[in-house]
Structure 1
Amino acid sequence: MEKLKRIVILLLVITGLYIIYNQASSFDWFSKSGNKNAQATMTNDIDRIEVDVSSVSTTIIPEDRKDVKAVYNGKEKLTVRDHGDTIEVSIKRKGFGWFDWSPFSEKKKMKIYIPEDYHRNMSISLGSGNVFFSGTSKNNPAKLNELTLDIGSGNMNLKNMIVNDFKQKVASGNVEIHSLKTETGSFDVGSGSLDVTEYTGAIQAEVSSGEVNFQVDQLTDSIDMEVSSGDVGLDLPNNADFSLDGDVSSGEIKCDFPLTSKNMKKKSIEGVHGSGKYKIDLDVSSGDIYIH
């Protein structure tokens, strides 16, 4: 019994010392500024920017600059480095990383500043937390060749972007996208919600469990959606030219558009609107499809 008491007391002492150390770090008694910052110079050899963050609220800001700079207010290690043709921005836990006393301290935030004339490739890996990335306006959007998003559990908000190749994978979380123009758009949602407005481009979407809503400004390519469990809302322009093929195993299909060559059954619908130029395939195992 005495030995057990000693162990408990020792653990309490270690925990107490760790809390004191973390609080000292958070009050920043040992430095002039509570924020960490790091940067890497953008060169013509850089083909990709990689962002790897977790449990952090991150804002990506394009501006007139020649480097990539990150500013972070947390205690974890911030790294911005040039690695071959890639600039990597990451947050890594150090020391007793399995302790997380963040509820007792200020919310962890990071701002990443990138050159507004950088138009190559970018990938964002979000373990958990929030990411906000926006161009200046719809008339002055952020432009990228490729944007890849991998979200473990978190929220993402994207606005005012033109991306040639857009790829998104969400294990569990919520994504809001406003004003995105792309040639190819790939969306993979494990569990969560995807809400897209003012979208232009092809759509390839797979949803395991969740809710997906697309408001399409201009139909310029095909749409292919496969939903295991969830609901799909597809808001198309009135002058959209498409051939529709929709199937539901358990649920309902509703289409507000007048269709020619219409073949409607209890669990499926086929038909053409306008010239029928672009193909729309919708397949839902359990859920509802609403096209309007």
Structure 2
Amino acid sequence: MKRILVLLLVITGLYIVFNQAHRFEIFGASNGSNSNGQAAITNATEVIKVDVSSVSTTIIPEDRSNLKAVYNGKQTLKVTEMGDTVEVSVKSKGFNWFNWFTFSEKSQLKIYIPKDYDRNMVIDLGSGNLHLSGQSKEKPLKLDEVTVDIGSGNMTFRNLIVNQWKQDVGSGNVEIDSLKTETGTFDLSSGNLEIRHYTGAIEADVSSGRLTLQMDQLENSVKIDVSSGNVGLDLPDNADFTLNGDISSGNISSDFPLTEKELNKHSIQGKHGSGKYDIDLDVSSGNIRIH
């Protein structure tokens, strides 16, 4: 009985601490926080940061000069300007156990950004859904660096040209359709990552889960490490590559006919076409199929 009483007192104390901290944050939110959901996007703005959880978020490029966030839900929307960064966040009001574990499709956030914004974007999704798309494949959204971190939930990205793309997938599902980049880095702990119409160099580390990668053109190197899980690498028929695969346990297979082919239990090497671009694969456990 005493243990139950102590536990209730601890929970009550935590509730008070978090609730009071939230109140202080509201009263002390004069450091660039904007209650009307808008922020100026100027030549000095280098980063747009989106930090959300338990909400359905859509980032919409359109003909405008500022950022505007419109939220419909029970959490707290904050739009903050601080130095060269504009941040949009949706956080729970005080300490609420249910917001940690629940997500409602009715809780929606729309973020309108200038369509000619071409600098950096940081996206952190704790849970829920997030969607970002350029107007079309012919009229993509162009950005410099994009950093994406998903704890769980679902993400979709379409029609983007980005100099550097970095993505960390804890769990959940990510769908990317039409991404052109100089360098793409992907870290998949678990879940599913599906990439279609991809162009650029790529480095991927798959701890667990499934990675599906379809490339329109092979124009740079590919490096994929698989600790556990499955990878499907879909290359164009005219791809010129040199394959170097190391296998501890699992399998690497290629549907492409290879010249200078060497195959044994722990490695696979060979060339297709001129062998211009390196494809380096390392499998500790799991499977990689090139097709």
The TM tier, using the shorter chain, reads: 0.7 to 0.9
Could you tell me how far 1:97 is from its partner in structure 2?
2.9
1:251, 1:267 within 8 Å by CA — same for their partners in 2? no
Q: Which residue of 2 aligns with 1:205?
A: 204
Which residue of 1 is the match for residue 58 of structure 2? 59
- Residue of structure 2 in register with 1:126 after alignment: 125
- Contact kept in structure 2, 1:63 and 1:113, CA below 8 Å: yes
2:31 alignment partner in structure 1: none
User: 2:169 maps to which residue?
Assistant: 170
RMSD: 2.2
SS of the aligned residue for 1:49 comes to: strand
1:145 aligns with 2:144: yes
Q: What is the Cα deviation at residue 274 of structure 1?
A: 1.1
Contact kept, 8 Å, 2:199 with 2:216, in 1: the verdict is: yes
Q: How has the CA–CA distance of structure 1 residues 238 and 52 changed in structure 2, closer, same or farther, with 3 Å as cutoff?
A: same
Give the structure 2 partner of residue 161 of structure 1: 160
What is the CA-CA distance between 1:155 and the residue it aligns to?
1.2
Please state how far the C-alpha of 1:79 moved relative to its aligned partner: 0.9
Q: Is the 8 A contact 2:63 2:115 kept in 1?
A: yes
Give yes or no for the alignment of 1:219 onto 2:210: no
- TM-score, scaled relative to structure 1: 0.85
Q: Flag the 1:185–1:97 CA change in 2: closer, same or farther, 3 A.
A: same
Counterpart CA distance in 2 for 1:169 and 1:102 is 21
Contact 1:37 1:71 in 2 (8 A): no
Name which of structure 1's ranges 235-244 and 36-45 shifts more when overlaid on structure 2: 36-45
**Corresponding letter in the other structure for 1:162:** I
Determine the C-alpha separation between the residues in 2 that align with 1:282 and 1:186.
Answer: 15
Aligned to 1:260: 259
Q: State how far apart, in whole Å, the 1-side matches of 2:282 and 2:100 are.
A: 45
Deviations 1:27-52 (A, max 9, x none): xxxxxxxxx96110111110110000
| Structure with greater proportional strand content | 1
Q: Unpaired runs of 5+ in structure 1? A: 12-35
**CA separation of 1:244 and 1:101: change in aligned 2, threshold 3 A:** closer
The higher radius of gyration belongs to: 1
Residue identity matched to 1:212: L
What are the Cα deviations for residues 207-265 of structure 1, in whole angstroms up to 9, with x where unaligned? 11111111000011100000100111101111111100112222222211111111011
Give the SS at the match of 1:61.
strand
Q: TM-score, normalised by structure 2?
A: 0.85
CA contact (8 A) 2:168 2:186 kept: yes
Query: Per-residue deviation at 1:104?
Result: 10
SS in structure 1 of the partner of residue 136 of structure 2: coil
Q: Runs of 5+ in structure 2 lacking a partner?
A: 9-34
Instruction: Give the CA deviation at 1:280.
Output: 0.4
> Is residue 187–residue 204 contact of structure 1 (8 Å, CA) maintained in 2?
yes
1:112 aligns with 2:85: no
Using the TM superposition, give the Cα deviation of residue 80 of structure 1 relative to its aligned residue in structure 2, in angstroms.
1.0
Give yes or no for contact 1:165–1:182 (8 Å, CA) kept in 2: yes
Distance 1:105 1:179 in 2: 29
Kindly provide the amino acid, as one letter, of the partner of residue 72 in structure 2. N
Evaluate the alpha carbon distance shift between residue 151 and residue 92 of structure 1 in structure 2; reply closer, same or farther with a 3 A threshold: same
- The answer to whether the 8 Å contact 1:38/1:69 transfers is yes
Shift of 1:105: 7.1
Task: Work out whether residues 103 and 128 of structure 2, in 8 Å CA contact, stay in contact via their aligned partners in 1.
Answer: no
User: Structure 1 residue 99: deviation in Å?
Assistant: 4.2
Q: Partner residue of 1:85? A: 84
Counterpart in 1 of 2:236? Answer: 237
1:103 offset after TM fit, Å? 6.3
Which residue of structure 2 lines up, in the alignment, with residue 75 of structure 1? 74
The count of corresponding residues between Structure 1 and Structure 2 is 262
Distance 1:217 1:110, change over 3 A: same
Kindly provide the amino acid, as one letter, of the partner of residue 157 in structure 2: L
CA distance in 2, matches of 1:65, 1:97: 36
Give the counterpart letter for 1:141 in structure 2. P
Alpha-carbon distance between aligned partners in 2 of 1:140 and 1:200, rounded to the nearest angstrom: 16
* In 2, Cα distance between equivalents of 1:197 and 1:106: 26
